[in-house]
Structures are given as structure tokens and as C-alpha cells.
Amino acid sequence: MSHIDFIIRISVAVAAGTIIGFERQWQHKSAGLRTTILVALGAALYVLISVSLTEKTGDATRIIGQVVTGIGFLCAGVIFRDGFSVHGLTTAVTIWCSSAIGCLAATGQFFETFVATALILFVNIGLVPVDRWLTNRNSTKN
């Protein structure tokens, strides 16, 4: 892989992580701009290491599987239980999705990276009114 290709791939991962992180920071969530950027960048770096080590022989997907596991462990620390309420699930899943964004960018799937980023933003921003409506609808029934 050329140096230019490496720079482009990590830059796309950082750009997508920035977009997602900006939304999280704007919403005052615990994992904001820097966290999301670093998760996307870290995932991309691990995948790029794997790709460079396995260019001739080997299986680069093994590292991607380990990224998924490691990020899952990190996400578990974001989830809090307070009595019957659970907080941080959306933030944890956003971190998990950000690692997938980094993996996509590292494999050179730039179109897919930005489509997935847009979908994450749609879920985190566009579905908030639907979520509120469903929550209020359930609380008024009781």
C-alpha cells in the first residue's frame, strides 16, 4: 500500500468519525467528538496493519473480528444501569458503529463509509422525534 493510499484511508476514517462525533458532542453525550474520531481511527489503523501484514498470505478479516470484540468490551463500560433504567446504550452502539466505519474506510470502501455515516446520523438525529413520540405514547397509556 502506498503512503498516499494510507493517508487517504485514515483521513476518510477520521472525517467520518468527526461527523459522527460532532453529532454526539452536540447532543452532550458522554462519548463525543474525540472519542468517536479515535475509535474510527484506531479501527482503521488495526485493519491497515492487518492488510499490510497479510498482503501476500493470511487473512486480514481476523483483525477486524478482534476489533469488534475489543470495541464491544469498551462499549460495555459506557452502559450504566440505574435501578430499572439503562443509560448509554445509544452511545455504546454509536461507538461500535464508529469502529465499523473505521474498518470500512481502511479497506478502501469510501462510498460505503459515507453512506453508513449518513445512516448513523439519521438514526441518532432523524429518529429522535419518533423515539420521543413512542416514549410519550407508552407513558400516557398507563
Q: What confidence tens digit (pLDDT) does each residue in 79-104 have?
A: 888 888 888 888 899 999 999 999 99
Q: List C-alpha distances in Å: 88 to 36, 51, 67, 76, 104.
A: 14, 33, 20, 9, 24
At 114, is the pLDDT very low, low, confident or very high (cuts 50, 70, 90)? Answer: very high
* Domain count within the chain: 1
pLDDT in the model for residue 138: 66
Is the model's pLDDT at 38 over the cut of 90? yes
Cα→Cα distances 52→28, 39, 40, 104, 106, Å: 37, 20, 18, 15, 11
Query: Domain of 16?
Result: 3-141
